[in-house]
Structure 1
Amino acid sequence: MIIVGLTGGIGSGKTTVAKQFKSLGVPVYIADEEAKKLMNRSKVIKRKLIRLFGEKAYVNDTLNRPFLADIIFNDTSYLEKMNAIVHPKVAKHFERWVSKQEASYVIKEVAILFENGGHKQCDYVITVVAPKEVRVERLLLRDNTSREKIAAIMKNQWTDEDKVKLSDFVVENIELQDVENQASKIHKKLLEKLK
């Protein structure tokens, strides 16, 4: 099974690109979504996160995201500690998911694919890019957040330039129509490589 990593900075439009591949019949695994589910479902993860962040980490048996975000925003070492708890579980979940797929390739969408070394487990990597100000505007609309919080997240991610250097394909996500065309071209190229 060929694994294609899909990544890009926050607000670049990875989800939009992932939907395009899904519409082409490609199975897509969204790592952040699965991580959120596991953080609420897995007793082991819950226990470890409560040990790390305290009892307030969960409210009514659900992850207290705003509480964790505030802690991580003020001390990024907590992000690394949390990732060390969650990422191995997500990796195992992904392996089980892949074993059930029957397509010629799958997409694994991960925001911090390069930052956590996940690109080494991929046969190809697609990076989604968009101008920084476009990304910021998207996030302000989508997440009801502040420019300060967006800047803090961007600071913890590699630059587009660094990601592009290690990528096999790049999707420039400004206009939806362009994204559809780019995704189709990449899909055709991947199918050709797999012949």
Structure 2
Amino acid sequence: MELGQQAEKFVLHFGEMGGRWGVNRTVGQIYALLFLSPKALNADEISQTLGFSRSNVSMGIKELQSWRLVNMVHKVGDRREYFQSLDDVWDIFRVLVEEKRKREIDPTMTLLRNTLLEEPATEDEVYGQQRIREMLELVEMATVWFDEVRKLPPETLQGLMRLGGKVQKLLGLAHKLRG
């Protein structure tokens, strides 16, 4: 597969962004290639297109599968495994948020809850626990909100996101009417 100039820019940028998102450059580039590809690709095609070793591609594919961003498919008469990204960008977004939550938010909430079970020994620890309680409440509120939003169909979610600042103005107006 030959990458055009536009695809090459996209793939290289995703590689750079990978480090900021918690994956390495190779994984980011493999994902970008699969995202842009109109057909499923096998590891040799990925390796050849991106100039990566076959072992790097295999490790990258395993990482992407663990994130549930890439699916394996088979072709009749071909023993090789082919890979493709999820098609729907809303599904991709949801999977990414779910995986980030599972890998980062849930362990943080567990730590915060366990810390609050400990008896504070000093005034500083009492203060620290109050701050931790505030942080836990915020994170729990955000996760409950996400759970509700996640249930929305993509069209509704798009409409909600398009409202943007209008929601803030509406909430501000409601607050003023109550106050």
Q: Same fold (TM over 0.5)?
A: no
Task: Please identify which structure carries the higher helix content.
Answer: 2
Q: Which has the higher contact order (CA 8 A, sep 6+)?
A: 1
Task: Please identify which structure carries the higher strand content.
Answer: 1
TM-score by length of 1: 0.22
TM-score by length of 2: 0.23
